[in-house]
Amino acid sequence: MALAADALGVDRLTLAVPPPVPDDFPTRYRWLIGRRAAREPLQHILGFAWFRRVRVKVRPGVFVPRPETELVAGAAIDEACTTGTGAPLVVDLCTGTGAIAAAVADEVPSARVIAVDVDPAAVKLARANLAEFGDRIRVELADVTSPDLLAEFAGTVDVVVSNPPYIPPDAVPADPEVHDHDPARALYGGGVDGLDVPREVIAAAQRLLRPGGLLVMEHGDEQGPAVRAMVEGTGGFADIRTRPDLTGRDRYVLARRR
Protein backbone atom coordinates (compact mmCIF):
# COMPACT_ATOMS: atom_id res chain seq x y z
CA MET A 1 0.00 0.00 0.00
CA ALA A 2 2.84 2.39 0.81
CA LEU A 3 4.40 1.83 -2.61
CA ALA A 4 1.05 2.26 -4.34
CA ALA A 5 0.51 5.57 -2.51
CA ASP A 6 4.00 6.67 -3.53
CA ALA A 7 3.35 5.75 -7.18
CA LEU A 8 0.13 7.78 -7.08
CA GLY A 9 1.82 10.70 -5.33
CA VAL A 10 -0.69 10.68 -2.46
CA ASP A 11 -0.72 10.02 1.25
CA ARG A 12 -1.47 6.41 2.13
CA LEU A 13 -4.60 7.38 4.06
CA THR A 14 -6.19 8.88 0.96
CA LEU A 15 -6.31 5.42 -0.65
CA ALA A 16 -9.48 4.80 1.34
CA VAL A 17 -11.06 6.97 -1.35
CA PRO A 18 -9.15 5.97 -4.49
CA PRO A 19 -7.73 8.94 -6.42
CA PRO A 20 -7.66 9.14 -10.21
CA VAL A 21 -5.05 6.73 -11.55
CA PRO A 22 -2.54 8.37 -13.93
CA ASP A 23 -1.56 6.61 -17.13
CA ASP A 24 1.96 5.92 -15.93
CA PHE A 25 0.84 4.29 -12.66
CA PRO A 26 1.41 0.65 -13.76
CA THR A 27 4.91 1.43 -14.99
CA ARG A 28 5.89 3.37 -11.89
CA TYR A 29 4.34 0.82 -9.55
CA ARG A 30 6.20 -2.08 -11.23
CA TRP A 31 9.44 -0.08 -10.91
CA LEU A 32 8.86 0.49 -7.19
CA ILE A 33 7.93 -3.14 -6.61
CA GLY A 34 11.10 -4.19 -8.42
CA ARG A 35 13.22 -2.02 -6.13
CA ARG A 36 11.61 -3.51 -3.05
CA ALA A 37 11.90 -7.06 -4.46
CA ALA A 38 15.64 -6.40 -4.76
CA ARG A 39 15.57 -5.78 -0.97
CA GLU A 40 16.09 -2.04 -1.12
CA PRO A 41 14.74 -0.70 2.19
CA LEU A 42 11.20 0.61 1.97
CA GLN A 43 12.33 3.75 3.81
CA HIS A 44 14.90 4.50 1.11
CA ILE A 45 12.31 4.05 -1.61
CA LEU A 46 9.81 6.33 0.10
CA GLY A 47 12.43 8.74 1.42
CA PHE A 48 11.03 8.83 4.94
CA ALA A 49 10.20 6.76 8.02
CA TRP A 50 7.70 7.20 10.82
CA PHE A 51 9.23 7.21 14.29
CA ARG A 52 6.74 7.45 17.14
CA ARG A 53 4.74 10.59 16.16
CA VAL A 54 7.30 12.17 13.84
CA ARG A 55 8.11 11.62 10.18
CA VAL A 56 11.83 11.81 9.45
CA LYS A 57 13.63 12.00 6.14
CA VAL A 58 15.72 8.92 5.37
CA ARG A 59 18.61 8.84 2.90
CA PRO A 60 21.11 6.19 1.74
CA GLY A 61 24.30 6.34 3.76
CA VAL A 62 22.54 7.09 7.07
CA PHE A 63 21.21 4.43 9.44
CA VAL A 64 17.48 3.75 9.08
CA PRO A 65 15.62 4.18 12.42
CA ARG A 66 14.04 0.98 13.74
CA PRO A 67 10.76 0.38 15.61
CA GLU A 68 12.55 -1.10 18.63
CA THR A 69 14.36 2.18 19.13
CA GLU A 70 11.00 3.87 19.71
CA LEU A 71 11.01 2.23 23.17
CA VAL A 72 14.45 3.68 23.87
CA ALA A 73 13.16 7.11 22.90
CA GLY A 74 10.07 6.52 25.03
CA ALA A 75 12.17 5.87 28.14
CA ALA A 76 14.06 9.12 27.57
CA ILE A 77 10.79 10.98 27.00
CA ASP A 78 9.24 9.58 30.19
CA GLU A 79 12.26 10.71 32.18
CA ALA A 80 12.34 14.16 30.59
CA CYS A 81 8.68 14.61 31.54
CA THR A 82 9.39 13.98 35.22
CA THR A 83 12.66 15.78 35.92
CA GLY A 84 10.95 18.75 37.56
CA THR A 85 13.55 21.10 36.11
CA GLY A 86 11.10 22.99 33.87
CA ALA A 87 13.31 22.76 30.79
CA PRO A 88 14.98 19.33 30.81
CA LEU A 89 18.25 19.02 28.90
CA VAL A 90 18.49 15.85 26.80
CA VAL A 91 21.58 14.74 24.86
CA ASP A 92 21.13 12.25 22.00
CA LEU A 93 24.48 10.63 21.17
CA CYS A 94 24.97 8.88 17.80
CA THR A 95 21.81 10.58 16.56
CA GLY A 96 21.84 9.36 12.93
CA THR A 97 18.71 10.76 11.28
CA GLY A 98 17.87 12.66 14.46
CA ALA A 99 14.81 10.46 15.06
CA ILE A 100 15.22 10.16 18.84
CA ALA A 101 15.95 13.88 19.20
CA ALA A 102 12.89 14.72 17.10
CA ALA A 103 10.65 12.44 19.18
CA VAL A 104 11.88 14.02 22.43
CA ALA A 105 11.35 17.55 21.10
CA ASP A 106 7.92 16.63 19.77
CA GLU A 107 6.63 14.96 22.94
CA VAL A 108 8.36 17.16 25.53
CA PRO A 109 7.81 20.72 24.28
CA SER A 110 9.78 22.20 27.17
CA ALA A 111 12.90 20.12 26.46
CA ARG A 112 16.18 21.39 25.13
CA VAL A 113 17.93 18.75 23.01
CA ILE A 114 21.51 18.38 21.79
CA ALA A 115 21.98 15.79 19.03
CA VAL A 116 25.49 14.53 18.25
CA ASP A 117 26.95 12.39 15.48
CA VAL A 118 30.44 11.85 14.07
CA ASP A 119 29.27 11.34 10.47
CA PRO A 120 28.84 14.51 8.35
CA ALA A 121 26.09 12.89 6.23
CA ALA A 122 24.12 12.00 9.36
CA VAL A 123 24.55 15.49 10.81
CA LYS A 124 23.34 17.09 7.58
CA LEU A 125 20.26 14.87 7.53
CA ALA A 126 19.58 15.34 11.25
CA ARG A 127 19.71 19.13 10.82
CA ALA A 128 17.12 18.86 8.04
CA ASN A 129 14.89 16.66 10.19
CA LEU A 130 15.21 18.86 13.27
CA ALA A 131 14.97 22.28 11.66
CA GLU A 132 11.27 22.60 12.52
CA PHE A 133 12.10 22.68 16.23
CA GLY A 134 14.20 25.83 15.87
CA ASP A 135 16.69 26.71 18.59
CA ARG A 136 15.27 24.08 20.95
CA ILE A 137 17.60 21.57 19.26
CA ARG A 138 21.30 21.91 18.60
CA VAL A 139 22.99 19.44 16.24
CA GLU A 140 26.72 18.89 16.67
CA LEU A 141 29.29 17.17 14.45
CA ALA A 142 31.42 15.57 17.14
CA ASP A 143 33.02 12.29 18.21
CA VAL A 144 31.57 10.55 21.25
CA THR A 145 35.07 9.28 22.06
CA SER A 146 36.33 12.82 22.66
CA PRO A 147 36.94 13.57 26.37
CA ASP A 148 35.95 17.18 25.66
CA LEU A 149 32.57 16.30 24.15
CA LEU A 150 30.06 18.98 25.19
CA ALA A 151 32.39 19.96 28.02
CA GLU A 152 30.36 23.10 28.74
CA PHE A 153 27.41 20.92 29.77
CA ALA A 154 29.31 18.56 32.08
CA GLY A 155 27.25 17.64 35.12
CA THR A 156 24.11 19.46 33.93
CA VAL A 157 22.33 17.04 31.57
CA ASP A 158 19.08 15.40 32.69
CA VAL A 159 18.99 12.55 30.17
CA VAL A 160 21.61 10.99 27.89
CA VAL A 161 20.00 8.73 25.30
CA SER A 162 21.76 6.79 22.58
CA ASN A 163 21.35 4.14 19.93
CA PRO A 164 25.05 3.59 19.21
CA PRO A 165 26.57 1.03 16.85
CA TYR A 166 26.95 -2.19 18.83
CA ILE A 167 27.12 -5.17 16.45
CA PRO A 168 30.24 -7.38 16.91
CA PRO A 169 32.45 -7.78 13.82
CA ASP A 170 31.52 -11.45 13.33
CA ALA A 171 27.75 -10.91 13.62
CA VAL A 172 26.95 -9.71 10.09
CA PRO A 173 23.21 -8.96 9.84
CA ALA A 174 21.31 -11.47 7.73
CA ASP A 175 18.89 -9.03 6.11
CA PRO A 176 20.12 -7.43 2.86
CA GLU A 177 18.21 -4.26 3.83
CA VAL A 178 20.70 -3.91 6.69
CA HIS A 179 24.05 -5.27 5.53
CA ASP A 180 23.77 -3.86 2.00
CA HIS A 181 22.30 -0.47 2.84
CA ASP A 182 23.02 0.69 6.40
CA PRO A 183 26.53 2.16 6.74
CA ALA A 184 28.98 -0.12 8.54
CA ARG A 185 30.01 2.77 10.78
CA ALA A 186 26.48 2.87 12.18
CA LEU A 187 26.28 -0.92 12.68
CA TYR A 188 29.56 -2.22 14.07
CA GLY A 189 30.52 -0.91 17.50
CA GLY A 190 34.20 -1.84 17.43
CA GLY A 191 36.22 -4.36 19.41
CA VAL A 192 35.68 -8.09 19.56
CA ASP A 193 32.38 -7.63 21.41
CA GLY A 194 31.05 -4.68 19.40
CA LEU A 195 30.93 -2.56 22.53
CA ASP A 196 33.78 -0.08 22.07
CA VAL A 197 31.45 2.76 21.06
CA PRO A 198 28.87 1.93 23.76
CA ARG A 199 31.70 2.10 26.32
CA GLU A 200 32.46 5.62 25.13
CA VAL A 201 28.76 6.54 25.34
CA ILE A 202 28.70 5.36 28.95
CA ALA A 203 31.85 7.36 29.73
CA ALA A 204 30.36 10.47 28.10
CA ALA A 205 27.13 10.01 30.05
CA GLN A 206 29.08 9.77 33.28
CA ARG A 207 30.70 13.15 32.53
CA LEU A 208 27.57 14.88 31.26
CA LEU A 209 24.77 13.75 33.56
CA ARG A 210 23.85 15.66 36.68
CA PRO A 211 23.47 13.63 39.89
CA GLY A 212 20.22 11.70 39.46
CA GLY A 213 20.29 12.06 35.67
CA LEU A 214 19.41 9.04 33.54
CA LEU A 215 21.33 7.10 30.89
CA VAL A 216 19.20 5.27 28.30
CA MET A 217 21.22 3.24 25.78
CA GLU A 218 20.21 0.62 23.23
CA HIS A 219 22.24 -2.58 22.80
CA GLY A 220 22.04 -5.97 21.14
CA ASP A 221 19.67 -8.63 22.46
CA GLU A 222 22.54 -10.74 23.81
CA GLN A 223 24.54 -7.87 25.31
CA GLY A 224 22.42 -7.07 28.38
CA PRO A 225 24.73 -8.64 31.02
CA ALA A 226 27.89 -7.25 29.41
CA VAL A 227 26.43 -3.74 29.17
CA ARG A 228 25.21 -3.80 32.77
CA ALA A 229 28.69 -4.87 33.86
CA MET A 230 30.24 -2.03 31.85
CA VAL A 231 27.96 0.53 33.46
CA GLU A 232 28.48 -0.87 36.95
CA GLY A 233 32.24 -0.94 36.43
CA THR A 234 32.38 2.85 36.11
CA GLY A 235 31.29 3.25 39.72
CA GLY A 236 29.26 6.26 38.65
CA PHE A 237 25.79 4.75 38.27
CA ALA A 238 23.11 3.12 40.38
CA ASP A 239 19.76 1.43 39.70
CA ILE A 240 21.14 -0.29 36.58
CA ARG A 241 18.44 -2.19 34.71
CA THR A 242 18.00 -3.95 31.38
CA ARG A 243 14.68 -3.44 29.62
CA PRO A 244 13.16 -5.54 26.79
CA ASP A 245 11.81 -4.59 23.39
CA LEU A 246 8.33 -5.55 22.18
CA THR A 247 9.50 -9.08 21.39
CA GLY A 248 10.73 -9.60 24.96
CA ARG A 249 14.41 -9.48 24.02
CA ASP A 250 16.92 -7.43 26.01
CA ARG A 251 17.16 -4.10 24.17
CA TYR A 252 18.37 -1.21 26.33
CA VAL A 253 19.92 -0.26 29.63
CA LEU A 254 18.73 2.31 32.16
CA ALA A 255 21.13 3.69 34.76
CA ARG A 256 20.90 6.55 37.23
CA ARG A 257 23.92 8.84 37.80
CA ARG A 258 25.09 8.67 41.41
**Same domain for 146 and 25:** no
What is the side-by-side strand order in the sheet with 209-218?
137-141, 112-117, 89-93, 157-162, 209-218, 250-257, 237-244
pLDDT for 15 equals 54
Per-residue model confidence as pLDDT tens digits over 139-177: 999 999 999 999 999 999 999 999 999 999 999 999 999
Residues 178, 157: one domain?
Answer: yes
- Please check the confidence at residue 57 and state whether its pLDDT lies above 60: yes
Q: In this model, does residue 83 exceed pLDDT 90? A: no
Q: What are phi and psi of 223, to 5 degrees?
A: -105, 5
How many domains does the structure of the chain reveal? 2
What's the CATH number where 138 sits? Answer: 3.40.50.150
Measured distance CA(241)–CA(254) in Å, rounded: 5
Q: pLDDT at residue 220 above 60? A: yes
Tens digits of per-residue pLDDT, 95-109?
Answer: 999 999 999 999 999
pLDDT at residue number 96: 98
Higher pLDDT, 27 or 113: 113
249 shares a domain with 188 = yes
Which residues have a Cβ under 8 Å from the Cβ of 111 and sit 6 or more positions away? 80, 87, 88, 89, 90, 104, 105, 136
Same domain, 80 and 12: no
Cβ atoms of 219 and 168 within 8 Å: the answer is no
On whether both 28 and 48 belong to a single domain, the answer is: no
Same domain, 145 and 29: no
Domain range spanning residue 9? 2-38
Instruction: Assess whether 193 and 92 both reside in one domain.
Output: yes
Whether residue 127 sits in one domain with residue 17 = no
Q: Are residues 67 and 176 in the same domain?
A: yes
The pLDDT confidence band at residue 28, using thresholds 50, 70 and 90, is: confident
Question: Are 17 and 119 in a shared domain?
Answer: no
Q: Give the other-Cβ count within 10 Å of 257's Cβ.
A: 23
CB atoms within 10 A of CB 222: 11
Q: Quick one: pLDDT at residue 16? A: 57
**196 touches 189 (CB < 8 A):** yes
The overall average pLDDT reported for the chain is 93
How confident is the model at residue 10, as a pLDDT?
Answer: 63
Q: Which helix or strand (DSSP H or E) is residue 186 part of?
A: helix 184-187
pLDDT tens digits for 116-129?
Answer: 999 999 999 999 99
Question: Residues 124, 22: one domain?
Answer: no
Q: What is the 3-state secondary structure (H, E, C) of 29-45?
A: HHHHHHHHHCCCCHHHH
Average pLDDT of 37-63? 96
125 in the same domain as 72: yes
pLDDT value of residue 20: 74
